[in-house]
Amino acid sequence: MDESARESVGPDPTRRFRLDGKVALVTGGSRGLGREMVRAFARCGADVVIASRKEEACRELAREVEQETGRRALAVASHVGRWSDCDALAARALDHFGQVDVLVNNAGMSPTYPSIVEISEALYDKVMDVNLKGAFRLSAVLGTAMMERGSGSIIGVSSVAASQASPYEVPYGAAKAGLHSLTRSLARAFAPKVRVNCIMPGAFLTDISKAWSPEMMAGLEAMTPMHRAGRPDEIVGAALYLASDASSYTTGSILKVDGGTAWGTG
């Protein structure tokens, strides 16, 4: 294509998905959907902070990222259900890189329980702490730092359980619905400099899915219009869109990546 032709079609729109010069922090980043996001961000030019409770898993992925992409990767052991751990994680990332431009609140948990009345206070608190409290505290601290720098993107990772009621995920669904509310509230609180959005995944074939029975898998496939669970790499497009300048006019949004499972976005 000659120069005049290039000018007529404008700049390459795919450049807006690049993350060169940015730092991305992903909680629950050592496995599953978080791992795929970390790898994608680094491949698109970002330095990354990989946080989870298992430090060695974070370190292993950090080494892989640095060897494959040449980007810097910081591994941090952190329990995001603890307020103090969130503060320490934010401080470590800011001290190490001097900035955090993208925060992905991906850490989550949904333990099983025998019945609703047998849900213990400890289980209820743990689910709320990991899925909602940690996302709030990290967003508050790093969102404020982003405001001071003049830009940034915060991404929550919820679940179809936030809008599709289930007797098997009562505390988890409530926490993820809270994450949707948090997304919309913080989008207004941090506007116009920092964008706050949320990805709402359906069933994905991550490590957790290995424990699913054939009957459970068949049920999931039957209720999903695309008749299958998602591959972990299929979260990458949504994550890159929301993390990058490609979504410069998107904030307060809940983006479904669920094969059509959920009727609404909560």
For the annotated catalytic residues, the residue numbers are 172
Q: How far apart are CA 140 and CA 186, in angstroms?
A: 8
Name residue 24's beta-bridge partners.
Answer: 48, 102
Burial (CB count within 10 angstroms: exposed 0-12, middle 13-18, buried 19+), residue 84: exposed
> Which residues have C-beta within 8 Å of that of residue 231, sequence separation ≥ 6?
204, 205
User: Would you mind telling me the total number of residues written for the chain in this entry?
Assistant: 266
Q: Return d(Cα 2, Cα 55) in angstroms, integer.
A: 51
Amino acid present at 95: D
Query: Is the backbone peptide bond immediately before 171 cis, with ω within 30 degrees of 0?
Result: no
Ordered alpha helix ranges (H), the chain: 3-9, 32-43, 55-69, 83-97, 121-128, 134-149, 170-189, 214-223, 236-243
